Structure 1
Amino acid sequence: MKFAPGYRRFAVPAFLGAAVAAFVFPPIGAVLLGFGVFVLWFFRDPERAPPDEPGVISPADGHVSVIRAEDGRVRVGVFMNVTDVHVNRAPVSGRVRTVTHRPGAHKPAFSKDSDNNERVDIVVESDDGEYEVSQIAGAFARRIHPYVATGDHLERGDKIGHIDFGSRADVLLPEEFSSEDVIVEKGESVRAGETVLAKR
């Protein structure tokens, strides 16, 4: 099993603490061991392959929490809870035009207030228009880790980053897309790099 970068920062102290506490106070050792296992599970990075079906694929595992029109474009957002894989993937192939970090709040990622949360916006220029992928921090998420930089070329389904502990990932579709082109519904379960969100 592969793991997202940064897992050692949380897992190693937990396992070392568990080893020491096992001799001093075993119950604490058991708690630390459990936390270490949880960290490894949370940072898991399973292999994914984009479907043969054309279309914009989900950037994240989780449940669709946002489908709305804004300024003539359609936004589709996926809420990731702590049980979901938190490695995000490119919804389309294209070139990264910009990667922008925006500081902000840390409201629950499933709430409307999360639109003002800390985030990283990745603009991707594709053959059929400009897409924006937003990695949005949640109430407990404090670190967003983009893997891409301006000028990078992405293939559909490539890894673009991860977020620590609970969050949201959005795709802002090009102007050519309408709400009718979205083929998922709010509350639907989706998988990063595999589930098609929209197609024309």
Structure 2
Amino acid sequence: MKKTQVMIGFLQKQEFCHWLFSSRLRQLVCVACALVMVGTCLKAEDTFEPYASDVPESAVALWEDYDPRHEPLNIEVVQEWENDGVVTRYVTFTVGTFKGKESRIAGYYCLPAGKAKLPAFVWAHGGGQRADRRRGEYFARQGYASIDINWLGRPLEDGIDINTDWGNVDPTQGPRFYGKALRQGWKRSL
């Protein structure tokens, strides 16, 4: 195949080159584009500069300027159960204000009845799951207090509509499953 038979659009290669460089304006445009591309390649800077100053060197340093009392939790006990020496509370609480609207998380707070100053922990379930009352009750029988948070907001109790409400934050920014599930409505069997 000859060079002249190579087509670029409706023009042959030689005709295209003649057309491209025949006008002084086209020549200037081509030179300007070439200079911009070369300049960009030579001076390729990061969009964001790495955060290098005042990087916390410990967990204590990370949180030293944070006052947890600045925003109240506004805890609401939605329902409470006591069974076999375990108190279980379905609660919601404020986790902060994001994009101008309050965000609240629901969860099960479980502890041994009549006990105080217990070892405690937060249980954050895996993706696609939900808080589980039985899990918290199990750990309460072992002597622990726990809060099993329902961070994604899947239904927990029949007849209770109060749940996690992220306000203006979209919690579905993860696997595609979450967005689809929220649009179609949750199924209890998930």
| Bigger RCO of structures 1 and 2 (CA < 8 A, at least 6 apart) | 1
Normalising to structure 2: TM-score of the pair?
0.23
Larger-Rg structure: 2
TM-score, L = length of structure 1: 0.22
Structure with more helix by fraction: 2
Considering fraction of residues, name the structure with more strand: 1
